[in-house]
């Protein structure tokens, strides 16, 4: 058996290196793991005598892996006999490896490891609170505020970040499943009272889903991050396509927009906002 075919057969035992059909070896990931002296791969190569003799040198009772010699062999002898350098893949590379397959390059920005609570729209952009009025000015009186009672006020919400390392409790509460309230069902006959959520077993079987999956069409109003977390238990892994309407990072003309987005995001804040939601949407 040729050496490159033997390597391919041996490495079949490491699922990290293959696509789902186990037909294509990820050579760039293999080279990256070899560079880090990955224990599993080294053990697999050691098990085969011919590979042990070719890519290891024995010093007393210890086998030392000849990393550069193995990497050279892989690069010079494409294991999958591909006629293209990067079969079926498009993406950024450093010349040899896809950035996706290496930890040497990281997209980094402030707050990357944080969760941004909200701030997309004006609905989320203001906090309502009550403040006791000891004294009120004429301007306060015009707003309906009175002395000697609690007055309802609003203030523009500051961007609230929870660090994933330091604020576990806050993040757990934020991402806990929320109770969905004020249910309504609309049909051709108008609005109806909801007595139960539809779960069509036959339709779910046709779709290849568990029979008790919700089959009602749902419109949910609320913070999209909280809504996604509340729906995760029911719909994770079952959604084929998601359309998203991301917040604008910058918009010059605000005058004609009936729905006023928060366009004051810093770029790092906007990236964090998108990261929180895209990672969850992928699930």
Asked if residue 119 and residue 67 are part of one domain, the reply reads no
**189-195 long-range contacts, CB within 8 A, separation 24+:** none
Asked if residue 26 and residue 118 are part of one domain, the reply reads no
pLDDT of residue 84: 47
Single out the residue of 24, 22, 37, 23 nearest to residue 71, CA to CA.
37
pLDDT of residue 194: 86
Angle between helices 224-235 and 168-175 (to 10 degrees): 70
Asked if residue 235 and residue 119 are part of one domain, the reply reads yes
Asked if residue 86 and residue 224 are part of one domain, the reply reads no
- Of the listed ranges 36-50, 63-77, 145-159, the one predicted with least confidence: 145-159
pLDDT of residue 264: 62
* Chosen domain end from 101, 136, 170: 101
pLDDT of residue 203: 93
50-54, 73-77, 199-203, 269-273: which is most confident: 199-203
Model confidence over 215-250: pLDDT tens digits? 988 999 888 888 899 998 888 988 889 998 877 655
Say how many C-beta atoms besides its own lie within 10 A of residue 170's C-beta. Answer: 15
Query: With contact defined as beta carbons under 8 Å apart, do 162 and 170 qualify?
Result: yes
Question: How many domains does the chain fold into?
Answer: 2
Asked if residue 84 and residue 47 are part of one domain, the reply reads yes
Single out the residue of 107, 113, 115 nearest to residue 228, CA to CA.
115
Residue 109 in any domain: the answer is: no
Residue 29 in any domain: the answer is: yes
Computed over every residue of the chain, the mean pLDDT equals 80
Q: Decide if pLDDT at 142 tops 70.
A: yes
Residue 25 in any domain: the answer is: yes
pLDDT of residue 81: 47
Alpha helices in 12-154, H assignment, sequence order: 27-35, 39-47, 49-55, 67-76, 122-125, 138-142
Residue 198 in any domain: the answer is: no
Asked if residue 48 and residue 171 are part of one domain, the reply reads no
Model confidence over 39-62: pLDDT tens digits? 999 999 988 888 888 889 988 888
> Residue 83, class by beta-carbon neighbours within 10 Å (0-12 exposed, 13-18 middle, 19+ buried)?
exposed
Asked if residue 242 and residue 121 are part of one domain, the reply reads yes
Asked if residue 233 and residue 120 are part of one domain, the reply reads yes
This prediction's pTM: 0.53
* Chosen domain end from 68, 101, 134: 101
Q: Rounded CA gap, 40 and 14, in Å?
A: 8
Q: Between these two residues, 74 and 186, which has the higher pLDDT value?
A: 186
Residue 153 in any domain: the answer is: no
pLDDT of residue 206: 92
Asked if residue 165 and residue 38 are part of one domain, the reply reads no
Residue 75 in any domain: the answer is: yes
Asked if residue 229 and residue 262 are part of one domain, the reply reads yes
Asked if residue 61 and residue 120 are part of one domain, the reply reads no
Residue 194 in any domain: the answer is: no
Asked if residue 173 and residue 57 are part of one domain, the reply reads no
State the residue range of the domain holding 96.
3-101
- Of the listed ranges 27-41, 88-102, 129-143, the one predicted with least confidence: 88-102
Residue 202 in any domain: the answer is: no
């Amino acid at each position: 058996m040729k050496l490159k075919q033997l390597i391919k057969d041996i490495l079949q035992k490491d699922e990290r290196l293959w696509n789902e059909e186990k037909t294509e070896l990820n050579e760039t990931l293999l080279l990256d793991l070899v560079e880090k002296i990955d224990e599993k791969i080294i053990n697999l190569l050691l098990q085969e005598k011919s590979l042990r003799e070719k890519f290891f040198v024995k010093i007393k009772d210890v086998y030392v892996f000849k990393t550069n010699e193995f990497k050279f062999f892989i690069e010079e002898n494409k294991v999958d006999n591909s006629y293209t350098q990067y079969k079926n893949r498009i993406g950024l590379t450093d010349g040899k490896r896809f950035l996706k397959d290496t930890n040497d390059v990281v997209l980094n920005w402030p707050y990357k490891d944080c969760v941004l609570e909200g701030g997309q729209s004006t609905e989320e952009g203001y906090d309502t609170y009550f403040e006791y009025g000891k004294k009120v000015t004429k301007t306060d009186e015009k707003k309906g505020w009175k002395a000697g009672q609690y007055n309802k006020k609003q203030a523009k919400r500051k961007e609230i970040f929870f660090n994933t390392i330091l604020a576990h409790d806050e993040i757990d509460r934020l991402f806990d499943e929320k109770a969905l309230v004020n249910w309504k069902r609309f049909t051709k006959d108008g609005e109806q009272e909801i007595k139960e959520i539809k779960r069509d077993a036959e339709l779910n079987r046709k779709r290849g889903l568990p029979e008790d999956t919700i089959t009602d069409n749902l419109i949910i109003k609320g913070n999209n991050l909280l809504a996604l977390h509340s729906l995760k238990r029911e719909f994770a892994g079952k959604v084929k396509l998601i359309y998203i309407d991301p917040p604008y990072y910058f918009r010059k003309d605000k005058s004609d927009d009936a729905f006023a987005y928060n366009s004051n995001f810093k770029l790092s804040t906007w990236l964090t906002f998108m990261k929180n939601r895209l990672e969850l949407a992928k699930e």
